[in-house]
Amino acid sequence: MPPTLPKLSYVLLSHNREKYIRAAIESAFAQDYEGELEYIFSDDCSTDRTFEIIKECVAAYKGNRRVVVTQTPRNLHLAGNTNHAVQFVESDWIVRADDDDYSATNRCSLIGKAIVAYPRARYVTTGVTHFTDAQEDVIRARALTPNDEPWVAKETDITTSPNEETSFRPRALSYKAWHMDVFRVFGPIHPQGYYVDDLTCFYRASILGTGVHMHRNIAVYMRDGSGNMSRGEDDNKRGYYAIVRLEKFNDKYFNLTHEPVIEIYHALCSHIRQYNLTGTERFMDAFRQEIHERELLRTFWRKGILNRIRISRAIGYKGLFCALRCLPLPIFAGLLATYRMLTGKA
């Protein structure tokens, strides 16, 4: 008798995406998962019609799976909305989805099979393809077409060499499923952790078990240019002003995320001591190195050229691009924008 597929909770978080939310929910309801699956749609107090559209879609749903529709009492940002949604989860696994992306019809199926095959797993990542609004019709058709392709997985844990492609920081960190122990053991995400919610879950899950990576299996279609919060409301433009805006955002990012990342580190240290975990040294060394680099980068654009040269040397940045990035921001942005325009990479 084949192993029973685990119950999954498809958690879709939304905020002001009235243009895209209907398509995102359509791909959620199109999941071909043969196991038990519930849907949790949590809106972060949108000021447009996003929440109304969610309710319309759910009202029209003809399936028999459990569906929860909820809204935060005020705008809590990504970390707060995550914490809000988690309280409605009735399974051991969360499949995270965003309000402007598509999930392939077999996304949950791939994740469920991986969980069965690797019982020590505490997070699962799949492959991703980026697209723009201009590719909408093609991507929609591809995402909603049934797909029974064979799956290829690799399991890693905290003893895996940090030089391996899928160790420590999976390339598909945002396209993941987390075990609920990430929240049951460590509690809610730091309220200011809305830029590092996925990083928080990754480090927690890595200490609790293994990771399974299926990067050859494209299960998420990520929309570019719709206001990605993790890149300072990136508008998918690559000209002068976009470069300046993103570079200024980097300082803000490293300052805003400093306290949440430090909290993650101390929580992991406490857990390791409490359960006397072994084999964590290399993993925690890599984490400490990341914290050190983040602390250095907090002032990259807030001081002068000498400060940027010092930081670049300390981190080990090399090459012409890194040298140019030590110049004053207007000059660096102008040179990069000109290069992109001349090479057609704008």
154 versus 171: the higher-pLDDT residue is 154
pLDDT of residue 163: 62
127-152 pLDDT tens trace: 999 999 999 999 999 999 998 889 99
Side-chain half-sphere of 326: how many Cα atoms within 13 Å?
Answer: 15
Strand 154-156 to strand 210-223: parallel, antiparallel, or no bridges (unpaired)? antiparallel
pLDDT at residue number 159: 85
CA distance 82 to 121: 21
104 φ, ψ (degrees, to nearest 5): -60, 150
Q: Would you kindly state where each structural domain of the chain is located, as residue ranges?
A: 8-230, 237-343
Average pLDDT value for the chain: 91
Q: Taking 60 as the threshold, does the pLDDT of residue 235 lie above it? A: no
DSSP 230: G
**Which residues fall within 8 angstroms of residue 290, CB to CB, at 6 or more apart?**
261
Is the pTM higher than 0.85?
Answer: yes
* 3-state DSSP of 159-209: CCCCCCCCCCCCCCCCCEEEECHHHHHHCCCCCCCCCCHHHHHHHHHHHHC
Cβ-defined contacts of 276-279 (< 8 Å, 24+): 277/207, 279/158, 279/159
Tokens 């990035």, residue located: 325
> How does pLDDT run across 161-197, given as a tens digit for each residue?
766 645 556 555 667 899 999 999 999 999 988 888 9
DSSP 83-144: HHHHTT--SSEEEEEETT-EE-TTHHHHHHHHHHH-TTEEEEEEEEEEE-GGGHHHHHHHHT
Tokens (6 digits) for 92? 């051991």
Residue 246 and residue 231 in contact, taking contact as beta carbons nearer than 8 Å: yes
What's the mean pLDDT in 51-65?
97
CA gap 123, 178 in Å, rounded: 5
281-297 vs 305-315: helix axis angle to the nearest 10? Answer: 170
Q: How far apart are CA 281 and CA 289, in angstroms?
A: 12
Inter-residue contact 40 to 68 (CB < 8 Å): yes
pLDDT at 229: 42
**Which of 222, 244, 238 is closest to 175 using CA atoms?**
222
pLDDT in tens, 289-312: 999 999 999 999 989 999 999 999
Secondary structure of residue 77 in the 3-state scheme: helix
DSSP code for 231: G
Residue-level pLDDT at 273: 97
Assess whether pLDDT exceeds 50 at residue 2: yes
pLDDT (0 to 100) of residue 283: 92
The crossing angle, in degrees rounded to 10, of helices 281-297 and 258-275 is 160
Domain covering 8-230 in this structure, CATH number: 3.90.550.10
